């Protein structure tokens, strides 16, 4: 029983439909699949139906954008209530702020002599909240850079010349929003991303401990982008704190060279996570009674 607990679709910055993700998961022999688009639940219905057709256990998810002192931190949320008003309001805020930020990034790029048509970016994003990978794609299409990685390295990476911060809540508030919506929260790719020889954007233990205080349930130690030493380090961090270890591909279709199912989570770990959701619900019920 293996699950891929972190995949994207055209509803954020992936290139496949939710139904295609389900077909890929079935083809990879998985038992279950989570759809975790950035700041939206828009692909859930299609993913749920397609998973049912393929006999897959569907785990409804989100990858919530948060920010810690200028650094972007991604918090995965599973089994959240789609009607939760606080989470819906935050997703709506993020969508508007992403759209505003895209305009600001294009203005910065223009100042740097790189002219990208806003309509092209909008067309690439479709109905998804606009993310930097969409802008990077438009830059490749214009021919200013040869790859998405080059667009990030030269212009768009956190702190880069065309980078603009977007509105986001703190990671602790992100965990609280997910818990408040009846879900469980997992810190995505705690070891950060490989950027050539350097790892960027990794979490600190101080951040992990703050998130544990806010009710974090798991760590994505087995992210497909983490080197073996990074995985074992974050496995130890999780074990020391009683956190569930998850594994996933962070599949983005053709926008990243990772196949769906490249890293996975055991069925037992998924059950433990589900169980923490029940505990969260009980906590929430208790809090409501004490109000």
- Nearest to ligand AMP of 129, 183 (CB atom): 129
Question: Is residue 222 involved in binding Fe ion (CB under 5 A)?
Answer: no
Q: List, in sequence order, every residue forming a beta bridge with 65; answer none if it has no partner.
A: 74
Q: What angle do CA 187, 237, 68 make, to 5 degrees?
A: 40
- Nearest to Zn ion of 76, 162 (CB atom): 76
- The structure tokens 């998973």 sit at 51
Pairing of strands 57-68, 32-35: parallel
**Shortest Å, Cβ 112 to Fe ion:** 26
CA–CA dist 178, 80 (Å, integer) = 7
> Considering Cα of 82, then 83, then 89, then 93, what sign does the dihedral take?
positive
CA–CA dist 126, 133 (Å, integer) = 13
149 binds, among Zn ion, ligand AMP, Fe ion, none (CB under 5 to 8 A by kind): ligand AMP
Q: Token digits for 167?
A: 């509105």
CA–CA dist 271, 284 (Å, integer) = 20
Among 46, 214, 250, 269, binds Fe ion (CB under 5 A): 250
Q: List, in sequence order, every residue forming a beta bridge with 75; answer none if it has no partner.
A: 64, 187
Question: Is residue 74 involved in binding Fe ion (CB under 5 A)?
Answer: yes
- Nearest to Fe ion of 69, 83 (CB atom): 69
- Nearest to Fe ion of 74, 276 (CB atom): 74
Pairing of strands 2-4, 265-266: antiparallel
152 binds, among ligand AMP, Fe ion, Zn ion, none (CB under 5 to 8 A by kind): ligand AMP
Quick one: which segment of 13-21, 46-54, 69-77, 167-175 binds Zn ion (CB under 5 A)? 13-21
Among 3, 4, 11, 13, binds Zn ion (CB under 5 A): 13
**Binding positions for ligand AMP, rule: CB under 6 A:** 38, 65, 72, 131-133, 149, 152, 157, 193, 195
- Nearest to ligand AMP of 57, 149 (CB atom): 149
- CA 119 from chain centre, in angstroms, equals 25
Give, as ranges, the residues between 134 and 193 that touch Fe ion (CB under 5 A).
188
Backbone region of residue 201 per phi and psi (left: phi > 0; alpha: psi in -120 to 50; beta: other values): left
141 binds, among Fe ion, Zn ion, ligand AMP, none (CB under 5 to 8 A by kind): none
* Contact set with Zn ion (CB under 5 A): 13
Binding site for Fe ion (CB under 5 A): 63, 74, 188, 250
């Amino acid at each position: 029983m293996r699950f891929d607990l972190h995949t994207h679709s055209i509803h954020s910055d992936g290139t496949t439909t939710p139904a295609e993700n389900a077909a890929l998961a079935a083809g990879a022999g998985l038992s279950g699949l989570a759809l975790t688009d950035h700041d939206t639940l828009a692909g859930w219905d299609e993913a749920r139906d397609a998973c049912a057709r393929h006999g897959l256990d569907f785990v409804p998810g989100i990858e919530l954008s948060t920010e810690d002192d200028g650094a972007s931190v991604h918090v995965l949320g599973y089994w959240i209530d789609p009607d939760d008003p606080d989470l819906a309001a935050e997703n709506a805020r993020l969508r508007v702020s992403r759209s505003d930020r895209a305009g600001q990034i294009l203005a910065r790029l223009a100042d740097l002599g790189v002219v990208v048509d806003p309509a092209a970016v909008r067309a690439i994003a479709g109905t998804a909240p606009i993310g930097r990978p969409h802008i990077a794609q438009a830059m490749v299409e214009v021919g200013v850079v040869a790859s998405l990685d080059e667009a990030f390295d030269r212009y768009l990476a956190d702190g880069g010349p065309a980078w603009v911060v977007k509105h986001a809540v703190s990671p602790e508030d992100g965990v609280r929003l997910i818990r408040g919506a009846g879900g469980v929260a997992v810190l995505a790719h705690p070891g950060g991303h490989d950027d050539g020889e350097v790892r960027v954007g990794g979490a600190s233990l101080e951040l992990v401990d703050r998130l544990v205080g806010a009710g974090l349930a798991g760590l994505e130690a087995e992210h497909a982008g983490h080197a073996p030493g990074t995985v074992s380090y974050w496995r130890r961090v999780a074990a020391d704190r009683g956190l569930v270890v998850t594994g996933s591909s962070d599949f983005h279709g053709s926008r990243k060279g990772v196949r769906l199912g490249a890293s996975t989570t055991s069925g037992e770990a998924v059950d433990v996570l589900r169980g923490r959701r029940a505990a969260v619900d009980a906590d929430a019920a208790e809090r409501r009674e004490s109000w």
